[in-house]
Every structure is written in C-alpha cells, then in structure tokens.
Structure 1
Amino acid sequence: MSTSWQEIAAKKQAQREALIPPKWRLDASKYQSRSNLLNVPVECGILSGRQVDITSNYDAVGLLAQMRDGSFSVEEVVTAFCGLRHLANQIFFDEAIERARSLDRERAADSIKPLPKLFGLPISLKDSFKVPGVDATIGFICFANDKSTKHSVLCDMLLEQGAVFYCKTNIPQTLMTADSDNNVFGRCLNPHNTSLTAGGSSGGEGALIAMRGSIVGIGTDIAGSIRIPAHCNGTYGFKPSAGLVSLMGKRAPGRTGLVGVAPVAGPLATFARANALIMQVVLEAELWRRDSMLNHIPWRGITLPDRPLKIGIVEDDGQTTPTPPMRRAIQEVSEKLNNAGVEVVPLKLTHVKQDMDLLWFSFSMDGAKDYINSMERSGEPMVNSVRKTGLVAMPEKNIHEVLDFTIARIGAQERYREMWLSHGLDALIMPPAPFTAPKIDMWGGIIAYTGLWNLMDYPAAIIPVSKVSPNDKPDGAAKYGEEDAKFYKEYTGPDDYEDAPTTIQIVGMKQEDEYLAIVVEKLDAIIQGW
C-alpha cells in the first residue's frame, strides 16, 4: 500500500521530536499568546546560567577565543546550543556531543598541538547541505527519507577546521521563495514577530541565529536567500561571489548542468566579523583543489585604504518604493556615514526591470520541470508562496533564447562595471527589500533589491540597523504606479509590524569579497556606534 505525503510528513516530524531529550522539550503552549519570542531561550529554564552566558554573550570569534584558552570546553558549548535548537528541522545532538567530547580529549592528550581555526565552533546548516545519515529534503516530500551517505565538500572542510554540526534548518519547498514553508516540516516563523515571514530560502538559519540557537550558520543564495532571511530576522549575512565557496555535494532543486545565474553558499551570523572569519577560513582552505568549479582566489590579508571610503547610496530600485521604516533606515545610515567622514555618493539604478527579466529567465530555462516532477513524485501540493512567484508556470527556453540571455547578461554586467569604476566606489548601500519582513506569504516575486546582485555576481552583505518605530506611520508615498502602490499599502503601520528589524545591504564589486568583508566591518562600527 502506498504511503501518502501527509503520512510521510507526520512520521518525519515525529522522528525529529523523538530525538529531543525530555530536559530540552519546550512547552510551546506557554508562549502562544506572544508574538515576540526572542527572550524565550533565556526565560524557558532549559539552560543553566552558564549556558545562557555561552549562547547569549559571545559571537563566533569570541566563543572560539574562550574555547582556545580553556575557559569553556567544546562539550559544554555544543551542549548549550543543542538546548536551543527550537527552530531546527533536523537534529543530530548525540553525534554533535560525541564529536565535542572527542575534540576535548584530543586537546587534553596534546596541549601543544596547534588547534584548527574553528576548534569546537557549533555551526548550523541549511537543509540542502549533506550530512551522513541525515536527509537533505530541500523542502520536498520525495526526499524525506533519502539519507545522505557523505558530507558536502564545504562541510568536510569545516569539520577539518574543527567545526561541530548539530542541526539543519528549515527552507521553502523548491528553495525558490522568500517564505520558509514546506510540506515536510511546516513553516518557520519570525521570532521578532510571528505574524511575519522569517524569509527564505535560508529562513531557518535566519530565525535560529536571531534566537541565538546558533551564532553562525551556512546558507545559500541565488536571488537573496541569505540576505532576505538576514534582513527579516535582523542578523548579519554575507553572499559571496560565485566560484569561491564550494557547492559540490549539496542537494539542488533544479536541473543540473544549466548555465545562467549560479547559486552561492555563504554565512549568516550574529556579528559581521564572524562572517568575515568564515570567508577567510574558506578561502584559505583552497577548496579549488577539491572542486574544479571554483576560482583560485586566496585570502590576501588586505587592509582598508588610507583615505575616506567612498560609498554609493541607492534609495530604491526604481520600481518599488521603500516603506517608511526602510526609508528611515537608509536615511539614518547615510547621515551617520557622512558624519564619520565617509564620502557618500547618491546613485540611481537604471534598466532594473530589464535586468530582472534576465534573472527570472535564468530560473526557468527548463520550464521548472524538476520542481514539478519532485512534487508529482509524492503527490504533495504546491505551497502558497511557490505558487505566488509564478516560477512553475514559466515556459521552457530554447537554445537561441539562452544565447540571447547570455549576451544580455554580459551587457548588464558591463554597465555596472562602468558605473562602479566611474564613481570610484568602495561599496554600494541600498535596502535589501522595499519593506521589512512582510506578512506570511506576501513577499511574492519582489527580489530586485537582492537578485540584481546575483545577476551581476557581486558579493553583498546585510547589516542590521534598528527596528520599526512608532513614528513609522503609513503615508501613501508610493511613486512607481499601481503595482507599487498595492505592495506599499501592505505596510499598515508600526503596530502590525512591531519589532520587525530594519537593515541595509552593502554591495561590493565582483570577486572583491575579502575587501567587502572588511568594508562591512568598518561601516558596521560606524552604524552601530562601536
């Protein structure tokens, strides 16, 4: 007798719950009346005072220092984060704690031996990365019991550097929407305000890091899938250029072998310097020796120039008007940079609609057949956010159309190269979206703010700025027509969007990822007042 997709999902969720020790079980009914869940990990009583200190008061860099000098053991650090896995969709605590003990034993046996760069660091993983004995479902029922037999290449390297994996996090069906909802594990909510989306496709990573259930995790991004969750959840995110971080051995939703806009893997974290550390470790590991698709770009140890930084400021994409909280965030950042002696250059983007048509073309070259086939294999329905993108309705492309796409993309990249160099930019700042985290399933296909930089293959990062303020009143200021006005009206005021984070996006030039990472740290210090 065949098993229904509902039965598979129910069994999968029951298996997950069975892996949680009774001492770490959370009575969710106590918090159903609350929309902001950020303090639940501290209030729930699951963690001891020392464990609260470990999970609340250190970023990845600081925690590594504490483990290196012996202030914390790896086991107690990993155990603390295992206790805060409330938003993870797959967990492997026993393996994580045993690895932590093994690292502690190795250190005790030879205290002189140099420690690896990520010694003992707990790292969460987006569901699409492979870990032996664990599924990589990418939000499809048909992969719910297809256990991986080996690690993805990136995961292998992180383990060699001393990382500890303890959970994988939720994503949307297809990985191609900004709402992390699927039929296997359900929906991931935003811990700042549960009526809002956690973003996608690395939504579980963004939400878990916001709740300090992780301090650094690995996501992927093809149109904003690292930056959108970082924005929605008020965390730091870093999207690298293509060809720097290995995707080999990761499960992908679409047909392999297609040309076009490439996905990338990168970190999300509680602080900018943690993302810079992960990028440094990745580039110093020379993963191109294991993955022929990667470029030979080293980490060079560069520093900022001895002159004021020159930063372009883009207020909007010329198609959608930022809502009051997002306009305020850009204005506040611009003022702080000016006051700090940064040279700010106002810029306007051109041809954005034309460029975004190219991006959507890239996503639908095979007519989304693999997405459709994956759903048909189990009989599961399409979730609402996937339907709203319209991606699965796009027709298959022929070779002539693909060649035209390639030529047009090169032309767009040339246009941005000329803009960048003519202004002498160190980086560019713009919103990651015209809105804060919107209501559930309302993001739709508005991805120009982030997706543009995937098309150009420029690295980009997210820095949190503030939160929605009581003064962020609706004002009817949409300026780009009827479609813009429709989405603009979704912002109904600060009460409905209470505690929603505001952020900015910082963009660097193609393959200047290391330079962008240090620029981000500098700008972050100015913005946060550090």
Structure 2
Amino acid sequence: MDWIDHYKQLFAADLNWIVIVTATSCTASGLGIWLKWFRHRQSWTKIQRAKDRREKSLQGAEQGVLQFKDSHPKTDTNLILSLSLAELSKQLKDGTLTPQAVLYSYMGKTLEVNGRLNCCTEILLESWDQLENIDSYRDGLLYGVPVSIKDNIAYKGHDSSCGVVCKLDLPAPADSVLVKVLKRQGAIPFVKTNVPQGMLSFDCGNPIYGRTLNPHNHLKTSGGSSGGEGALVAGGGSVLGLGSDIGGSIRIPASFCGICGFKPTANRLSSLGASSCNRGQKSVLSSFGPLARDVDSLVLLMQALLCDYMFTLDPTVPPIPFNQQIYQGGKRLRIGYYDNDGYSMPSPSMSRALRETKVLLERAGHTLVPFSLPRLVYALTQIIIYSLPQYLKKFLSILLKPVFPRISASFDCLRGFGSVQDLWRQHADVEDYIYEVMAEWRRCELDVLLCPMMGPAYNHNYPGQLTSTVSYPIPYNLLNFPAGVVPVTTVTAEDEEELRNYTGNYRDIWDKLYKKAVSGGVGLPVAVQCVALPWQDELCLRFMREVERLVQEKK
C-alpha cells in the first residue's frame, strides 16, 4: 500500500499548490481592483478639493464685492465696465477712477459671467492685497488694470492644473515671470480661467472644472485651449486676458467668442513659470499672448510686458522692446491672401469674411496678392499628432487611402520615430519647410498675409473629431510666424442657407462633420487672421489694427 500513500502525498501536495496559486491569483486580482479603486478615490478626492477651493474663492469674492458696494454706493460699475482699456487706463492714471473701484467692478462682473459660462477656475483673492500698495506702481503702463490669466500661468500658492488631475494639489511656489511683470507694471491679476483637459484641444472642458460655454450661444464651444479667457473677456468679465497658443489656442477662442487675440513670435514673451502637459516638445513652440476687445488693448499688454524687467527675469528672451514706430506706421501694405487653403474648405461665412475684408483693404489703397502655403498637406502631417501604435497607423493608412486620402496621409506620415536620427530628421524637415515658405513669401514681396480663421464657433463635442480644421491656425505655430485674429462680421441667414450645400474639398467624413459642427451659427462672430514674418510682431499688430479700423468705419 506504499504506492497509495505515495499518491496521496502527491495529491495533497498538488492540492496545496492549487490552493496557493488560486489564493495568490485571487489576492493579486483583489489587490489590482483595490489599487484601481484607490487611485480613482484619490483622483475624486483631488477633484473635490479643487472644486471646494474654487467655490470658496467665489464666495469670498462675492462677499468682498458686496461689502465694497455697501461702502461705496456711488461707484458707477456700469460706466467702468463700458470703458475701453485705453479710457480705463487714462482715468486710473489721472485719478478719476480708483484701482479699488475698478477691481471690485470687474470682480463682480466676473462672478456674474462665470455663473452663466463656467469660465473661471479660481478667483485670486490675493489681488486685494495688491491694492494696499498699488500706488507704488502708478508709473506702470497697466496701473490699476485687472487682468485675467489662463489656468496654466503660475500664480504663487495656486494650482496650474492644465485641466488634468495629476497637476492638482501642486500650488506654484512662485509667480511666473509674466505675472511678476504684470504686477510690476501695476496690473492686478485677479482670476484664473478654464482650459480643456491637457490643453491639447480647441474645446474647453475638463473633469475638474467642467465645460465652458460660448457667451453668444450656450450650445456652442468657447474654443480652446484659452477658452476660459475668450469667454470671460467676450462676456465682459475681463478687460484684458493672457493666454497661450500652440495650435491656435489664443486665436480660436478669440474667433469663436468675437474678440481680438494675438500669438506673438515664440519666446517674444517669457514662458518661465508656465505649466504644460507637453514640455520638451520642440518642433512646434508655444507662445504667450493677449486677448482683448480691441487691438490697441493687445498692444498695451505687449508694450507693458516687453520691458527690461522681463528681460532681466528671463535672459533667454531676446531683449527687444516694443517698436511703437512700426506699429504706428502709415505706409500702404503689400498683402498676400488666400480664401481656401486646399485642405479644409472654409464655411460660407468664413469665405465671405475674407472677401469683404480684402475689398476694404484694396479700397484703402493696399495691394492684395494671391498667395498659397506650399505643401500644406505635408506640413500638417508634421504637426497633427495621433497616439496610436505604429503598426495600426500603417494599417489604417493603407485601408483608408482609396476612400479617405486626407485621413490616410495623416496616418501614414505619423508612424513615430524609431531613432534619435529620425527625430533629428523631423526637426530638419520643419526647418526646411519654414525656409521654403519664407522664400515664397519673399518671391511675392509680401509685407503681411490675410487668411481665413476657423469659425464660426462649433457645436459642443465636435472639436475632438475635427483636427483637420486647425489647418488655418496651426501652420503659423509650425512656422513661428506672429498671427492674430480680428472679428469682422457675423453669420447671416444667407450664410446658413449656403452651408446646406457645403461639400468640402475632399467630401470625406471630416467635411461632413464640419458642416454639422458649424450649423446653427446665425449671429455668431466671424474673424479673419493676420500674419507676419517672425519677429515682426508690431507689423502684424499694425495690420490687425488697420483691418479693425476699416471694419469699424464700414459699420
């Protein structure tokens, strides 16, 4: 019977092993589920803390505004809010208005606008502390002016979340360079504004603070990624805002919300102290710039920031002060233009806005020259990123090519980089393309360029499906050309009727989606885009002001 005992022992050993393996597997599975729950719980807790901080700041601001109104019942808030930045600044300088009256007026309006549009991430209650010694900065170009700042711009003691949970509960240890310069110039940063998750979308919503709405139509997006800025400025809650732009992130919200926005040449303004979800990316550079109701306001912010104090704080920024002579120049311009980039057919209202602006410029004595960006499809495949495996991109490229050549080309050219040499080659390709465009620009002897701007504002949930339409703003990030937008018209019923026959340049799924995205836009603002060569920011702004002037005179 020894063999029976032997097999009993073997069976018992196997049974013990099975029990151990089963127990271990169950424990591992249970541990995995617990870890997943724990991470989810941590994220939820972080989000809740961020929401509580925002709510506390909103309540604190509301109480402060009510107290100021009770103690200063004669303050004409409506008058203050109606002033242009130039008028506001003048009255602050001569003492007609006090910084206290202006700050509390705008803070009150911000609370009202945020209640409708959900555009703010936090009121900066420390702004009240600035009032205590604000007269020390009376000589500053922005003395007493309240300024809103995008969420990713560091303000000491506050998160720069970029709309992602992992960046919560990480308050900035110090102000960013731009915030320091704003304060030195007498400005009062008083609110941070909302962004899309990761700041890599031209929508404006995230799991922390929710979705921001368009001030003209709540069914539409405010644009992104500086969408909170666009909504707040357009809604009247801020007279001057500061955003960032890596693919149209200033210009798209400005266009969608009906205000002016300017993307300077990259590194014209310091990025030191700003947060990002794609730091270290060099092919397309981010740029910080202003959003406001008019071009002169954009210029005032640029003048204030381009000062010795900023150049001292960040020596990597070229010490080039604002050139007022170029901005105020009066010579007639030679202006290149195109009304269809060949990649994304503009909406009827976009085309009309371009045509009407061209006519106004010609009547004013400027010379308009047809121009097109060389090899635009090639350029776009350098910069529109897809986070799919390389083998899947190749498969989809082959599969889609017969039916959707535009989408196929995007997948085919974005297979990633297998080596350092491949990455260097991509950087070299970008450099070559920049020089190719500039050579064509020189051949046409252009001063500046006029082109369409994305618009009108899209219906919610469409931006994530329509990366194709960034073909209008994003090339100028790749090229590092300064570019800005100026609203020139609004969508008419005739535009909406014409949209029914829109087919697009490729008649593919992107064109069909675009038609749906911009539908229902009657009354929404439509802008044009003004562009100049690198470091000719003042000339670009001068061109923008000329467009603005001619449109206002026509009205």
Q: Same fold (TM over 0.5)?
A: yes
User: Taking structure 2 as the reference length, what is the TM-score of the superposition?
Assistant: 0.80
Greater helix content: 2
Displacement of 1:335 after TM fit? 1.5
Displacement of 1:49 after TM fit? 7.4
Instruction: Report the equivalent of 1:75.
Output: 100
Kindly report which structure 2 residues correspond to 1:128-143, keeping only aligned pairs within 5 A, or say none: 128-143=152-167
Say whether residues 1:468 and 2:491 are aligned partners: yes
| Rounded Cα–Cα distance in structure 2 between residues aligned with 1:481 and 1:515 | 35
Instruction: Report the equivalent of 1:267.
Output: 290
Say whether residues 1:516 and 2:536 are aligned partners: no
SS of the aligned residue for 1:516 comes to: helix
Question: Which residue, 225, 230, 237 being the options, matches 2:249?
Answer: 225
Task: Tell me if structure 1 keeps the 8 A contact 2:150–2:193.
Answer: yes
Instruction: Report the equivalent of 2:426.
Output: 405
Change (3 A) 1:275 1:492: closer
Kindly report which structure 2 residues correspond to 1:374-453, keeping only aligned pairs within 5 A, or say none: 395=416, 398-433=419-454, 435-443=455-463, 444-445=466-467, 446-453=469-476
Task: Tell me if structure 1 keeps the 8 A contact 2:487–2:525.
Answer: yes
1:51 partner letter: T
| Rounded Cα–Cα distance in structure 2 between residues aligned with 1:306 and 1:269 | 23
User: Taking structure 1 as the reference length, what is the TM-score of the superposition?
Assistant: 0.83
More relative contact order, 1 or 2 (CA 8 Å, 6+ apart): 1
Structure 2, unaligned runs of 5 or more: 1-37, 64-72, 391-409
Q: Over aligned residue pairs, what C-alpha RMSD do you find? A: 2.6
- Give the 4+ runs in structure 1 shifted more than 4 A: 363-367, 393-397
Change (3 A) 1:222 1:129: same
Instruction: Report the equivalent of 2:525.
Output: 501
Render the CA deviation track for 1:371-416: whole Å, top value 9, x for unaligned.
xxxxxxxxxxxxxxxxxx99xx974653122111122112211121
Displacement of 1:255 after TM fit? 3.8
SS of the aligned residue for 1:167 comes to: strand
Instruction: Report the equivalent of 1:194.
Output: 218
Kindly report which structure 2 residues correspond to 1:4-83, keeping only aligned pairs within 5 A, or say none: 4-21=42-59, 24=62, 50-55=76-81, 57-83=82-108
Instruction: Report the equivalent of 1:489.
Output: 515
Say whether residues 1:525 and 2:549 are aligned partners: yes
% same residue = 27
Change (3 A) 1:22 1:137: closer
1:197 partner letter: T
Task: Tell me if structure 1 keeps the 8 A contact 2:456–2:518.
Answer: no
| Rounded Cα–Cα distance in structure 2 between residues aligned with 1:272 and 1:182 | 30
Task: Tell me if structure 1 keeps the 8 A contact 2:257–2:525.
Answer: yes
Displacement of 1:365 after TM fit? 13
Say whether residues 1:212 and 2:236 are aligned partners: yes
Render the CA deviation track for 1:191-210: whole Å, top value 9, x for unaligned.
11111111110000000000
Task: Tell me if structure 2 keeps the 8 A contact 1:144–1:184.
Answer: no
| Rounded Cα–Cα distance in structure 2 between residues aligned with 1:366 and 1:61 | 52
Instruction: Report the equivalent of 1:253.
Output: 277
Change (3 A) 1:142 1:23: closer
SS of the aligned residue for 2:306 comes to: helix
| Rounded Cα–Cα distance in structure 2 between residues aligned with 1:164 and 1:314 | 40
- Count, aligned residues: 473
Say whether residues 1:243 and 2:267 are aligned partners: yes
Task: Tell me if structure 1 keeps the 8 A contact 2:256–2:456.
Answer: yes
Instruction: Report the equivalent of 1:370.
Output: none
Question: Which residue, 267, 275, 298 being the options, matches 2:321?
Answer: 298
2:100 partner letter: E
Task: Tell me if structure 1 keeps the 8 A contact 2:354–2:528.
Answer: yes
| Rounded Cα–Cα distance in structure 2 between residues aligned with 1:397 and 1:437 | 39
Instruction: Report the equivalent of 1:342.
Output: 366
| Rounded Cα–Cα distance in structure 1 between residues aligned with 2:159 and 2:543 | 37
SS of the aligned residue for 1:94 comes to: coil
Change (3 A) 1:492 1:419: closer
| Rounded Cα–Cα distance in structure 2 between residues aligned with 1:300 and 1:279 | 10
Larger Rg: 2
Task: Tell me if structure 1 keeps the 8 A contact 2:332–2:366.
Answer: yes
Change (3 A) 1:15 1:282: closer
2:80 partner letter: I
SS of the aligned residue for 1:224 comes to: coil
Change (3 A) 1:397 1:317: farther
Instruction: Report the equivalent of 1:90.
Output: 121
After superposing the two structures, state which structure 1 stretch, 165-174 or 310-319, moved more.
310-319
Change (3 A) 1:507 1:73: same
| Rounded Cα–Cα distance in structure 2 between residues aligned with 1:305 and 1:424 | 18
Task: Tell me if structure 2 keeps the 8 A contact 1:321–1:488.
Answer: no
Instruction: Report the equivalent of 1:373.
Output: none
Task: Tell me if structure 2 keeps the 8 A contact 1:177–1:201.
Answer: yes
